[in-house]
Amino acid sequence: MDRRSLTLAPPTLAADDLGFFRWGRVAGKVLLTNDAGEHAFLSEQEFDDLLAGRIGEGHGRFDEFQRKGFVRDGWDLDAFATRVAKRNRHVRRGPHLHVLCLTQRGTNPAGAPNAAGQGDDDMSRETGEQIVELALQTMSPTVTFEFRAVAGEPLLNLDVLRHTVEFARARNRQAAGKTLRFRLFTNLSAMTEETAEWLIANDVHVTVSLDGPAGLHDRIRAWKGGIQHADVVRWIEYFGRRYAELGRDAAAWHIEALLTVTRETLSAGREVIDEYVARGLRVIHLQPLNRLRVDADTWARVGYGVEEYLDFYRGALAYMLDLNRRGVQLSERLASIILVKMLTGDDPGVVDLQSPCGSGTGEIAYGVDGRVFPSDEARAVSAMGEPMFDLGDVRALSLVGIVRHPTVRAIAGASLLDLQPMCADCWNKPFCGYSPIRNFISQGDLVGQRPRCFECKEHMAVSTQLFELLANEADSATAEILKRWTLTAPDLADAHASQEAP
Ligand code: SF4
């Protein structure tokens, strides 16, 4: 072949007329996306016309493409830059999510504490105070404190939880003036009415584990620890009743639940969703089992592959939409986060679903002894004997020192999607993000390779399913439901896309 006959670009590419966009094929149409989070579906003919510069003033879609930044003619660059900056404001926000591991004591399958405190198994009051002092250095106007345990129950160290909440409020009144939020992840094994009343009175949001209907939940709790289904339901009802009696806004004040998805769950998607509806829960968070938190023997019994999980997800999402069409109000959390990015021109700033990832810059985690990590997952890696994510001690670090730490910089660089092969050209880039710490766990390095990355497959599958639904112009009812789901994400700015069930 004569090399001069090779053409590497379409013969009629009007490059100077085009804005920067990425593209792919979804639902039989051409999908364009760009860094302002805009998207448009085109026919093949429209795509050809766009590339050839034949979509100009007077064309039926010119105004839309101009407004979205897909063509340069009359493009308002300042307005576009403002939209891009808004979607990336998380890089200027400062650490806002602080995850405290209050105890290393877990609970056995009967729900009882495994062992009495050994002194250094629990975080001390003094460490809690140091964390508060560090956290309030942030320039973020909101600060969320999340209380967790290594495995099991942070309420086993209730004294330090209460002290930290009260100390944070007092210090914030004196010095910082920020909006504080508190969230407890509990398996309820140490919950009492007295504790529940204190949590309610002190505006601590509560997240519990609910793994499905009674049989499934109780079988999962048999190896994971925590309380039986009937007791979880009793506490969900207790908090719901008390919030109502106190006149709290139900949209802001309701118990939240997390789901552990095992192999058995994959064939029980409808039953699990029906259980969440029956308990009055408004959001379900479908997420795969975290390989890091499960030993090899247990994984052999309850684990599964990515394709099995994605089949489960697709079926569950379709069933949830069916329920919504019949008037049920239940949204899926990951879909809601991605829909905010697709439909609102905003980005909720969820630390592990943004570019760059917010580990160390949006989120900081603390071990019981005051050691500092860029995320709770990094703390778990350290607990397994790999110290590469250890940043130092809370007594010796400043917030600036953490954000500028070489490890945090490496994480940011490894998760900047514009720099990564595949991501830089992927139509899903404006709606995506991944965790270098999870890459390290699963692939042995921070960057990893996208074809071997679980999150890449998961995020692509979810975005594709959502865009397939949005592309169906004949189904405006579903599009309206998906728009409504963006409203179910008011607190996402303080949260993870991936949340370990307690
Ligand atoms: S992680 Fe995968 S889905 Fe996300 S932007 Fe990169 S290539 Fe696309």
> Which residues line ligand 1 at a C-beta cut-off of 6 Å?
417, 422-423, 426, 428-429, 432, 434, 450, 456, 459-460
- Residue found under tokens 């508190």: 182
Task: Give the pLDDT confidence of 241-298 residue by residue, as tens digits.
Answer: 999 999 998 878 889 999 999 999 999 999 999 999 999 999 999 999 987 778 889 8
Kindly give the residue spans of alpha helices, DSSP state H, lying in 444-493.
454-471, 476-485
Residues 182 and 274 in one domain: yes
103-132 pLDDT, tens digit each: 987 655 444 555 544 457 899 999 999 999
Q: Which residues contact 330 (CB under 8 A, 6 or more apart)?
A: 273, 276, 277, 281, 282, 283, 284, 320, 323, 324
In a domain, 355, yes or no: yes
Averaged pLDDT, 210-234: 93
Residue 3 resides in a domain: no
Classify residue 159: in a domain, yes or no: yes
Can you give the CATH number for the domain in which 251 is found?
3.20.20.70
In this prediction, residues 171-176 reach a mean pLDDT of 85
* Mean pLDDT score, 133-155: 91
Residue 354 domain flag: yes
Please tell me the residue having the least CA distance from ligand 1 atom 1: 456
- Residues 278 and 204 reside in one and the same domain: yes
Mean pLDDT of the chain: 91
Comparing CA positions, the residue from 90, 79, 94, 92 lying closest to residue 36 is 79
Q: Is the pLDDT of residue 320 over 70?
A: yes
- How far apart (Å, rounded) are the C-alpha atoms in residues 340 and 362? 19
Structural domain range at position 407:
88-502
Percent of the chain whose pLDDT exceeds 90? 80
DSSP 183-239: EEE--STT--HHHHHHHHHTTEEEEEE--SSHHHHHHHHHHH----HHHHHHHHHHH
Choose one of 56, 87, 118: the last residue of a domain: 87
387 falls in which pLDDT band (50, 70, 90)?
Answer: very high
How many angstroms does the Cα of residue 451 sit away from the middle of ligand 1?
9
Among the listed residues 493, 127, 178, the one whose alpha carbon sits nearest the alpha carbon of residue 340: 493
Alpha carbon 401 to chain centroid distance? 25
The rounded distance, in Å, linking the Cα atoms of 386 and 436 is 15
From ligand 1's centre to the CA of 428, what distance in Å?
A: 6
End residue of a domain, out of 61, 87, 113: 87
Q: Are residues 151 and 124 in the same domain?
A: yes
Question: From ligand 1's centre to the CA of 24, what distance in Å?
Answer: 12
What is the structure's pLDDT at 290?
84
Among the three residues 62, 87, 112, which one is the final residue of a domain in this structure? 87
86: enclosing H helix or E strand: helix 77-87
Number of domains making up the chain? 2
Residue to substitute in 418, 428, 431 for testing ligand 1 pocket (most ligand atoms within 8 angstroms of CB): 428
Query: Do 119 and 18 share a structural domain?
Result: no
Look up the pTM and report it.
Answer: 0.92
Backbone angles phi, psi at 219, to 5 degrees: -70, -40
Contact of 382 with 389, CB cutoff 8 Å: yes
